[in-house]
């Protein structure tokens, strides 16, 4: 598998191009200085889940990096539709990306062209609820989510993922599936590409999203909980508090609702609350 060489079409700066032709120059600002933003979205049975929210977040991420995507919200929605149709995708993953080009090569990039591409590939829901309920194992990373005064923390911008890749590599080398990341104050923040929830009794607890991505799935889970009369506290959680919780799960467009059975030496038993949210979230992706 090589993502640069698949069959199909990618939207690239105005046109649908052959997949392997969607290339960029090595002197692109986006590559050298991480002036790049992206989204991770999913289509379920032909419909893009939370399409407007993802589109708005992409535009917001670009604005936060001081550039503007050269397409409107509606145009991006049209482009996405075209790409899904051209590649015959019903259940898939969608990756829009915007980045600064090569007109200036230095820190300043005032007049660089903004490029935009959108790719999509087949991605069926592989895991049955039973398989998911086994849970995943998280390491605890030494890398910390930064202070909001250090970086635009509530964006999906490439630069923020440097520490996520480092954390995930370390976790995988040690036999974990992923890593929990603390924030700059040592509060629990999130996983490398997903938000985190804890369960005590029938209540949910999740870190306050003040220095990391307030995920669309996170917001969806909070909404489901409120509709179902399950209390949710957005609160400060420390490592030593982990003994207090019975269940734990992560949420994200790719992860959906994935139970966690281990964080370092702490154990959790995926149970009825994990099961409930897996079921409800899945229903929502297929009906909303």
**Shortest Cβ 153–ligand PMP spacing (Å):** 10
Q: Which stretch binds ligand PMP (CB under 6 A): 8-16, 23-31, 188-196, 273-281?
A: 188-196
How far apart are the C-alpha atoms of 209 and 212, rounded to whole Å? 6
Owner of token pair 């820190």: 107
CA atoms of 276 and 257, how far apart (whole Å): 10
**Distance from C-alpha of 15 to C-alpha of 47, rounded to nearest angstrom:** 22
**59 belongs to the binding site for ligand PMP (CB under 6 A):** no
Is 193 a binding residue for ligand PMP by CB under 6 A? The answer is yes
Is 206 among the residues that bind ligand PMP (CB under 6 A)? Answer: no
What are the catalytic residues? 156
By CB under 6 A, residue 190 contacts ligand PMP: yes
Identify residues 98-127 at the interface with ligand PMP (CB under 6 A).
Answer: none
Per-residue exposure over 15-44, b if at least 16 CB sit within 10 Å of its own CB, e if not? ebeebeebeeeeebbbbebbbbbbbbbbbb
Is residue 195 within the footprint of ligand PMP (CB under 6 A)? yes
Site pattern 143..182 for ligand PMP (x: CB under 6 A): -------------x--------------------------
- 189 counts as binding ligand PMP under rule CB under 6 A: no
Specify the stretch interacting with ligand PMP by CB under 6 A; choose among 3-11, 79-87, 215-223, 259-267.
215-223
Question: Is residue 96 within the footprint of ligand PMP (CB under 6 A)?
Answer: no
Q: Which is nearer to ligand PMP, 132 or 156 (CB)?
A: 156
Minimum Å distance from CB 230 to ligand PMP? 19
Q: Are 123 and 249 in contact (CB under 8 A)?
A: no
Q: Under the rule (CB under 6 A), what is the footprint of ligand PMP?
A: 40, 156, 190, 193-195, 213, 215-218, 251-253
């Amino acid at each position: 598998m090589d993502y640069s060489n698949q069959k199909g079409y990618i939207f690239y700066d105005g046109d649908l191009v052959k997949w392997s032709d969607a290339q960029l120059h090595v002197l692109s600002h986006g590559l050298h200085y991480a002036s790049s933003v992206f989204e991770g979205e999913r289509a379920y049975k032909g419909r893009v889940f939370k399409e407007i929210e993802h589109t708005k977040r992409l535009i917001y991420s670009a604005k936060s990096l001081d550039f503007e995507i050269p397409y409107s919200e509606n145009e991006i929605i049209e482009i996405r539709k075209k790409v899904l149709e051209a590649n015959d995708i019903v259940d898939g993953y969608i990756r829009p990306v915007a980045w600064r080009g090569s007109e200036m090569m230095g820190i300043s990039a005032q007049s660089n062209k903004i490029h935009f591409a959108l790719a999509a590939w087949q991605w069926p829901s592989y895991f049955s609820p039973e398989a998911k309920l086994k849970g995943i194992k998280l390491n605890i990373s030494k890398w910390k989510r930064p202070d909001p005064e250090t970086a635009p923390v509530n964006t999906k911008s490439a630069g923020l993922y440097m520490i996520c890749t480092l954390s995930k590599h370390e976790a995988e080398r040690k036999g974990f599936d992923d890593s929990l990341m603390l924030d700059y104050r040592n509060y629990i923040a999130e996983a490398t590409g997903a938000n985190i929830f804890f369960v005590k009794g029938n209540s949910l607890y999740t870190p306050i999203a003040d220095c990391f991505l307030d995920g669309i799935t996170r917001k969806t889970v909070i909404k489901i909980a409120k509709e179902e009369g399950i209390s949710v506290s957005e609160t400060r959680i420390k490592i030593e508090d982990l003994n207090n919780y019975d269940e734990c799960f992560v949420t994200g467009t790719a992860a959906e609702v994935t139970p966690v059975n281990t964080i370092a030496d702490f154990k959790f038993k995926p149970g009825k609350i994990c099961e409930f949210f897996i079921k409800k979230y899945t229903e929502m992706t297929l009906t909303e």
